[in-house]
Amino acid sequence: MPFALTAAAAAVSAAATPIWIMVLRRLGVIDNPTGRSSHVVPVPRGGGLVPAAVGVVVILGPLDLPVRFSVGVAVAIFGFGAIGLCDDFRSIAAVPRLALQFVVGIAAVPLLLSDFHAAPIWAVAFALGAALFLTSYVNAFNFMDGINGIAAMQATVAGIALSLIGFWQDVPRVASAALLLAGVALAFLPFNYPSARVFLGDVGSYALGGWIGSLVIAALAFGVAPESAIGVVALWLADTGTTLLRRMRAGQPFLTAHREHTYQRLVQHGWSQTETAAFATIMSALISAAALLALTDSLILRVTGDVVAAALLLTYLSSPGLVAQRASNRGS
């Protein structure tokens, strides 16, 4: 049943996106290139409203999930997406935007954790940590949505990985919602990759980030091995985290836009957006696959998976330096 609904949702999303692109053009919701942009021609932004809206409708309706869980995921998608939509039409200052996002996280997390049982102090601590994680990941997902296809690809990979985790660990609610995520993200991809007819916009990156983050929280609450759940989002968190640390150490404002992420530096070193998005996606998929070994009963396989995932992550983070060094060696 989830497979049929996913296929139907993907078809609806694919059919509605061209119509929404025309509406965005008429409304003048256009992303004009600037000095920090990776695109050179004006492109409509806000296309992510379609997969987000389809996702909310299906999750609250025919997917037939437990009520509190489905409402929790829908609150994450809709709440973060609404903030992003406002930002797409009229920019919101960073601090108020962050405060609104945390409010959405606080609203969504108790619903996601309705079946989580622990001592009260640990339950409160987990819930606060989950809200902080959700807010942080939504922003990381938004920061990483800087070149064609990279965000839709990551959402597809995350959806597939989380659905595998859900099926493997007998958490069908996570599996079904994740499969739906993969379907609508994949349906959006042809409109954004390899060339972009539309961008996800903040509405799309916030909504998809909230969707992924909420499922990671639910997986952790149901006792899924932390490496497996976090492995799905590890590359994007690591890229964003290391970039912010570098900027803070250099005394640069970390809330302002920039082009210093690992994937952006690869583009600056001569890789095309197509190559870079594919590379980041492949590395994220490999890290997720290695992290799945933590779900086995074998300690050796679990440790092996952790080591491989860490090595892949370090390889990705160091890739701009390796590419630059190779280019220098060729030129000398």
Q: How far is the C-alpha of 230 from the C-alpha of 181, rounded, in Å?
A: 17
Q: Give the DSSP letter of residue 147.
A: S
What proportion of the chain, given as a percentage, has pLDDT over 90? Answer: 77
Say if residues 184 and 42 touch (Cβ distance below 8 Å): no
Between 246 and 253, where is the model more confident? 246
What integer pLDDT is reported at residue 106 of this predicted model? 96
Token pair of 211, please?
């969707």
Q: Please check whether residue 142 is in contact with residue 204, taking contact to mean a CB–CB distance below 8 angstroms.
A: no
- What is the value of pTM for the model shown? 0.94
Q: Greater confidence, 265 or 123?
A: 265
Q: Is the dihedral of CA 271, 275, 281, 282 positive or negative?
A: negative
Structurally, how many domains does the chain consist of? 1
Give me the domain span that covers residue 47. Answer: 2-331
Q: What confidence category does residue 247 fall into, taking pLDDT thresholds of 50, 70 and 90?
A: confident
Q: What tokens appear for 219 in the block?
A: 């997986």
**Tokens standing for residue 190:** 């042809």
Q: Strand, coil or helix: what is 31?
A: strand
What is the average per-residue pLDDT within 156-179? 97
The answer to whether residue 105 scores a pLDDT higher than 60 is yes
Give the separation between CA 283 and CA 310, rounded to whole angstroms.
Answer: 11
Measured CA to CA in angstroms, residue 52 lies from 57, 85, 144, 256 at distances of 9, 11, 18, 26
Mean pLDDT of 233-239: 96
pLDDT at 40: 60
Structure tokens at 165: 């985790």
- pLDDT value of position 91: 82
User: In the chain, what percentage of residues exceed pLDDT 70?
Assistant: 95
pLDDT at 289 over 60: yes
Q: Across residues 185-209, what is the average pLDDT?
A: 96
